[in-house]
C-alpha cells in the first residue's frame, strides 16, 4: 500500500463516506470550488455536485446551525470550521443545542454531525489562528473529541465519526497535513488509545503532533537507558483510561504532554483519572503543556513555547534522576 499524506487521508475518508451514504453532506467556507484552504477537500465538489458539497457564507454560527438542523432532519452533515479558534463563534449551537438534543428528546432523536477543524501551533499563524480548543469542550456532555496523529487514524477515525450518532469534533493539526503513511479503508473505533512504543520506566501520554515529539524523545531517552512507553490517546473525549492505567501499573510513572495551556487542559483530566484509579501504582506523575499565555507569532518564541522533544527529554531526565 502506497503511503499517502494526512490531508489526502482526510479527503479519502470524506470521499468514501459520501459515496457510501447519500445522507452524508459536506459544507463550509471554501471547501467546494477551492478544495479547502489546506487542500483537504479537492475534487469532492466536482464529484458529488453542489447539492452535497458546497461553499457557505463566512458565518461559523450559521454553519453550525445548518448542520444541527440538517442532522435532526435525517441527514449526516460534515462541516468544516476553517480554524479551531473560530469554534467560539459556534459555541451556542454546539454546546446548548447539538450536544443536548438527544437527551432533551428522551433519546428519540440523535444528532449525527461532524465538525472538522484545523488546530495547533507551529505554523506561524499567530495567537488567534493557532490555538488548541479541546479543553473548551472537555466538560460538555454529549460531545466527542477526536484528535488523530497519523494518516491511518485520520482516515479511520473520520469515517467512524461520520457514522457516529453523536456530535463529533474532529481536530486536524496543521503541522501534520504533510505527514505521510499508509491508510486503508477500515473504520476506526472512537475512544480507544494506542500503545505505539513499549517501555518499562515511564508512561508518556499525548495526542496529535505531540505523538511524534514523544516518539522522538523516547528514542533519545533510550540512549540513557530510560525506557519510555508512548500512548497516543487518539480520542480526547472519551478518554481511554484503561489503556493508560494498564501502562502505569507497569511503569509506575506518568507524564502527560499536551499542546495547550497548563491550566484547565485535558492533560490535567488524564492525571486526575489515573491518580484516582491508579494511585497505588504511581511513584510519580506530572504534565508538560504550554505556558498560560497567548501563542507568540515570532518563530523562535513559538518554538520555545511548544513542549517539543527537547523539553520532554530534559524533563523526564530530571524527574527520573
pLDDT (tens digit, 9 = 90+) per residue, 231-256? 999 999 999 999 999 999 999 999 99
Q: Which of 181, 207, 237 is the last residue of a domain?
A: 181
Domain that holds residue 101: 4-181
Does some domain include residue 186? Answer: no
- Catalytic (active site) residue 173: no
Task: Look at residue 1 and tell me whether its pLDDT is greater than 80.
Answer: no
> b/e for 289-316, b at 16 or more Cβ within 10 A?
bbeeeebbeeeeebeebbbbbeebbebb
Based on the fold, state whether residues 148 and 221 are members of the same structural domain: no
Q: Which pLDDT score, from 0 to 100, does residue 281 have?
A: 87
Q: Say which of 129, 159, 212, 287 is annotated catalytic.
A: 129
% the chain with pLDDT above 70 = 100
Whichever domain contains 272, its CATH number is 3.40.50.920
Based on the fold, state whether residues 159 and 199 are members of the same structural domain: no
Distance from chain centroid for Cα 314: 26
Does some domain include residue 57? Answer: yes
Task: Look at residue 2 and tell me whether its pLDDT is greater than 90.
Answer: no
Based on the fold, state whether residues 141 and 170 are members of the same structural domain: yes
Task: Look at residue 302 and tell me whether its pLDDT is greater than 80.
Answer: yes
Does some domain include residue 165? Answer: yes
The count of domains in the chain is 2
Give the model confidence (pLDDT) of 158-202 as tens digits. Answer: 999 999 999 999 999 999 999 999 999 899 999 999 999 999 999
Whichever domain contains 172, its CATH number is 3.40.50.970
Task: Give the whole-angstrom CA distance, residue 204 versus residue 218.
Answer: 9
Does some domain include residue 187? Answer: no
Give the model confidence (pLDDT) of 93-118 as tens digits. Answer: 999 999 999 999 999 999 999 999 99
Based on the fold, state whether residues 211 and 138 are members of the same structural domain: no
Mean pLDDT computed over 254-275: 96
Per-residue DSSP letter, 27 = E
Based on the fold, state whether residues 296 and 222 are members of the same structural domain: yes
Task: Look at residue 204 and tell me whether its pLDDT is greater than 80.
Answer: yes
Mean pLDDT computed over 137-145: 96
Q: Which of 151, 181, 211 is the last residue of a domain?
A: 181
Q: Which pLDDT score, from 0 to 100, does residue 279 have?
A: 83
Instruction: Report yes or no: 228 and 199 within 8 Å, Cβ to Cβ.
Output: yes
Amino acid at each position: 500500500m502506497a503511503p499517502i499524506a494526512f490531508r489526502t487521508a482526510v479527503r479519502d475518508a470524506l470521499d468514501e463516506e459520501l459515496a457510501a451514504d447519500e445522507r452524508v453532506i459536506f459544507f463550509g467556507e471554501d471547501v467546494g470550488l477551492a478544495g479547502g484552504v489546506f487542500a483537504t477537500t479537492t475534487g469532492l465538489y466536482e464529484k458529488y455536485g453542489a447539492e452535497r458539497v458546497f461553499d457557505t457564507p463566512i458565518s461559523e454560527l450559521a454553519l453550525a446551525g445548518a448542520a444541527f438542523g440538517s442532522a435532526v432532519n435525517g441527514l449526516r452533515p460534515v462541516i468544516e470550521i476553517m480554524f479551531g479558534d473560530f469554534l467560539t463563534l459556534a459555541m451556542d449551537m454546539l454546546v446548548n443545542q447539538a450536544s443536548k438534543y438527544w437527551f432533551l428528546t428522551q433519546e428519540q432523536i440523535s444528532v449525527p454531525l461532524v465538525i472538522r477543524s484545523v488546530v495547533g501551533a507551529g505554523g506561524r499563524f499567530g495567537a488567534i489562528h493557532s490555538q488548541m480548543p479541546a479543553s473548551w469542550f472537555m466538560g460538555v456532555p454529549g460531545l466527542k473529541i477526536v484528535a488523530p496523529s497519523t494518516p491511518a487514524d485520520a482516515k479511520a477515525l473520520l469515517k467512524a465519526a461520520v457514522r457516529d450518532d453523536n456530535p463529533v469534533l474532529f481536530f486536524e493539526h496543521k503541522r501534520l497535513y504533510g505527514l505521510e503513511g499508509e491508510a486503508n479503508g477500515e473504520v476506526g473505533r472512537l475512544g480507544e488509545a494506542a500503545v505505539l512504543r513499549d517501555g518499562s520506566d515511564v508512561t508518556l501520554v499525548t495526542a496529535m503532533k505531540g505523538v511524534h515529539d514523544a516518539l522522538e524523545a523516547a528514542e533519545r531517552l533510550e540512549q540513557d537507558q530510560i525506557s519510555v512507553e508512548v500512548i497516543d490517546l487518539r480520542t480526547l473525549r472519551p478518554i481511554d483510561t484503561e489503556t493508560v492505567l494498564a501502562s502505569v501499573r507497569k511503569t509506575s510513572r506518568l507524564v502527560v504532554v499536551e499542546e495547550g495551556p497548563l491550566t484547565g487542559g485535558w492533560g490535567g483530566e488524564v492525571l486526575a483519572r489515573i491518580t484516582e484509579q491508579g494511585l497505588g501504582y504511581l511513584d510519580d506523575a506530572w504534565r508538560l503543556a504550554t505556558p498560560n499565555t497567548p501563542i507568540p507569532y515570532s518563530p523562535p518564541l513559538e518554538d520555545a513555547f511548544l513542549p517539543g522533544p527537547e523539553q520532554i527529554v530534559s524533563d523526564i531526565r530530571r524527574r527520573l534522576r
